[in-house]
Amino acid sequence: MKALTCTSYGPTENLTIKEVEKPHPTSHEVLIRIHYCAVNDYDWSMVRGKPFIYRLLFGLFKPKRPIPGMELSGVVEACGENAGTFNIGDAVYGDISDHGFGSFAEYICINEKAVVSKPDLMPFEDAAALSHAANLAWQGLIDVGQIQKGMKVLINGAGGGVGTLGLHIAKTYDAEVAGVDTGDKLKVMKEIGFDHIIDYKQTDFTKSGKQYDLILDAKTSRAPNSYIPSLTSNGKYVSIGGNIGRLIQLLIARKIFKKSVFMVGLKANKDLNHIHKLYEEGKLKPIIDGPYPLDKTPWAIQHFGEGKHQGKVLISLINE
């Protein structure tokens, strides 16, 4: 089978597409023929080995798992002897990061708990774009942020996967939503319904004097205390990821701003039933950048890392 491989840390140009042995499912695993997979922050960090602290997870000198990728949609082609959740031919999707990685390939063997059944009305493309980002947005806005009807919400990094899906979720609460990003993403943000659009290259929202009931931050590139003036008296700042140094600061700041500053500890696939309902009601739809063929994956990861993407970056494997 074909797969994207990363055998040493470095620029995305060093990534290669090559033939590797097709896996076989062990006891509780399923073999999935992958249709689509998505690019995420994990992939950008893993192939470069940066920030260096991530090498404690990926491998100190080279990646322990040579095939990146943590999100997929596809069809079950075989089941391990003790795997009883799915049948051959079932359409599945999910964020597989709790059980392993390796979705930039034609096939993967993964624990059956890593995926869920794909709704019939949801195309494989949309499914691959939803599992990770939609869960982050849901858990950030609802589980942690405790969004309420009519709130004023700001999403930082609004033109990516979490931001665009976060808008749709916030709008189910009749929230007034401001989005912060730059470049070509601003046009997409306007088209999908952000109430206010802020170009961070032109305006620093933390110094604008405007306050929000809830800030969802997909970038986390500032010191935690810099967000406090932008919160109402009972407002919450919620980070879903970003600069590792700032995230460490955020953990420390939690002791000072206990009622104001929060961080999402993602629970993979936990809220997909809610996402299914919103999707089927037409209230949520991913913005897709691509899909691109497997041989363009190195470029797609670079495209993502430079922040030039809009919504979720997808890779197609169905024509490989």
Report pLDDT for 320: 53
Report pLDDT for 242: 76
Ramachandran class of 97: left when φ > 0, alpha when ψ lies in -120 to 50, beta otherwise:
alpha
Which fold would CATH assign to domain 2-118+287-316?
Quinone Oxidoreductase; Chain A, domain 1 (3.90.180)
Q: At 205, is the secondary structure helix, strand, or coil?
A: helix
| Confidence class for position 164, pLDDT limits 50, 70, 90 | very high
Report pLDDT for 261: 87
Cα(44)–Cα(302) distance, rounded to whole angstroms?
7
> Where does 132-263 sit in CATH, by number?
3.40.50.720
| Confidence class for position 249, pLDDT limits 50, 70, 90 | confident
Report pLDDT for 222: 84
Question: Mean pLDDT across the stretch 160-168?
Answer: 97
| Confidence class for position 57, pLDDT limits 50, 70, 90 | confident
Q: At 112, is the secondary structure helix, strand, or coil?
A: helix
Per residue, what are the HEC states of 73-107? Answer: EEEEEEECCCCCCCCCCCEEEEECCCCCCCCCECE
The CA distances from residue 318 to 1, 73, 293, in Å, are: 12, 11, 9
CA atoms within 13 A on the CB side of 38: 34
Q: Where in the chain is the domain with CATH 3.40.50.720?
A: 132-263
CB 1 within 8 A of CB 106: yes
pLDDT in tens, 61-91: 999 999 999 999 999 999 999 999 999 999 9
Q: Where in the chain is the domain with CATH 3.90.180.10?
A: 2-118+287-316
Nearest to 85 by CA among 105, 114, 124: 114
pLDDT in tens, 260-303: 888 898 999 999 999 999 999 999 999 999 999 999 999 999 99
The sheet carrying 231-239 orders its strands as 196-199, 176-181, 152-156, 212-217, 231-239, 261-263
Report pLDDT for 311: 96
Cα(104)–Cα(320) distance, rounded to whole angstroms?
12
Question: Mean pLDDT across the stretch 113-132?
Answer: 97
Cα(295)–Cα(261) distance, rounded to whole angstroms?
41
| Confidence class for position 258, pLDDT limits 50, 70, 90 | low
pTM of the model: 0.93
